[in-house]
Amino acid sequence: MRQAHPVEQAVGMEYYVSDSDGVGGRLRREPAAFGVREVEAFQVEPIDAKQGAYPHVVFRATLAGWDTNDFAGVLSDHLGISRERVSWAGTKDKYAKTTQLFSVAKVDPADLETIDLSDVEIEVLGRSGRPILFGDLAGNAFEIEISEPDAPGNLDGVLDELAAFAGSASGGGEDDGSTRIGVPNYFGQQRFGSQRPVTHEVGLAIARGDWTDAVLAYVGNPHEREREDTREARKYVTETEDWEGALDRLPKRLGYERSMCHRLVENGADDPEDFQEALEAVPTNLQQLFVNAAQSYAFNRILSARLERGLPFDEPVAGDVVCFADSGAPDGLELPDTGRTQRVTEDNVGTVRRHCERGRAFVTAPLLGTDSERPDGEPGEIERAVFEDLGISPADFDLPGEFDSEGTRRAILLRTDLSVERDPLTLSFALPKGSYATVVLREITKADPADL
């Protein structure tokens, strides 16, 4: 197998599954060159529905060059409301043109229609009885241009290898000229921080109960890809743990880091509980992201170890746990339902393999949490080795507030029907919610993650 880029290895992505050289090039020449549109799965009532029963206004926003969290903050400021009243189904890349759903609690729809922000289009759709929650979508459809490819002729060879990795499951888009491909369903670099991949380090420290290390991992911990003033400020934090002095040095753009420092100045930073309180000063979705990133890192490590052992991704072995396909998935989108699982044994492995061959079931691995079960067989050996190396166990995720996590499972193979336009080189495909376009693109380009 081909070794991955060192930056990818740092977040558990150890390998490519295609040995061929990639096409090279770079992405995001401009936001419009990286198009993302949610495959929506949220019920909306008419805008004239009773506000008391349906207090959440739902709108579709098209954003070019906006971070989702930043947009939510600016929107709430314009509306004069708490940011916590703004919700969305999935966080998108900043350097993209994205179309996605949001909901806002207890606002006048007319106020939304008057919002005038650069590179933002808002379309009010209706009302809902509850906010849009993270995961309230079926998936995302992508149209991505690869700019200045070094070797576009390598594309067909890579796609042949990825088609072989996809396995023999029924489906595929040969009739429409697309190619069914498969890649490991890694969590992409964005999960951990595109420029400074540290969120998993924060989450692992939280799971181990080391709140001080968690804050230092986020506020300190300089990275070579950051600006010099940011690196110097983080270095000062790491060396001194002087939180008041840190506020004099941390750039204003590092709002979350500064929020933590403000809280530590206020509470004295004497006890572990003070550092927990500092972590709780950031938005709740970021608190959850820290723990999710730790789970994601462990998941990536499990997938890399499975590749090392030569275990299949498209079919199970004894000890695996599979989940079944979501019967309500949109056409052309493989959507695993991780709420319906089955453990694979020597007795039923043949039957379950047939389900996988027909696209009715998918092999999974755990996102560790309090409800995670003890694994069996060779897959279990892999999981136990990774968790022991990281010093974490299911009980460690019994955490206060937003940090608590029951855990879940995730399919280990990501399949999609990929269409290609050659000039300019543009790839179109759809992925289920929670999966990353960059884990497809990394195989095709073999580029530095900074160019993805």
Residues designated as active site: 93
Residue 212 neighbours by CB under 8 Å, 6+ apart: 272, 275
Dihedral over Cα of 275, 278, 279, 284: its sign = positive
Beta partners for residue 121, in sequence order: 62
Q: Is 35 left (phi over 0), alpha (psi -120 to 50) or beta?
A: beta
CA distance 357 to 155: 26
CA distance 218 to 233: 12
Q: Angle, to 10 degrees, between the axis of helix 437-445 and the axis of helix 155-166?
A: 130
CA distance 397 to 407: 8
Q: How many CB atoms are closer than 10 A to CB 66? A: 25
Residues in the chain: 452
CA distance 92 to 58: 18
User: Would you list the DSSP string of 205-239?
Assistant: HHHTT-HHHHHHHHHS---TTS-HHHHHHHHHHHH
Q: Angle, to 10 degrees, between the axis of helix 255-267 and the axis of helix 272-279?
A: 150
Q: Is 12 left (phi over 0), alpha (psi -120 to 50) or beta?
A: left
Helix ranges (H only) for 252-398 are 255-267, 272-279, 284-309, 349-357, 377-390
User: Which residue is listed with tokens 């379309």?
Assistant: 123
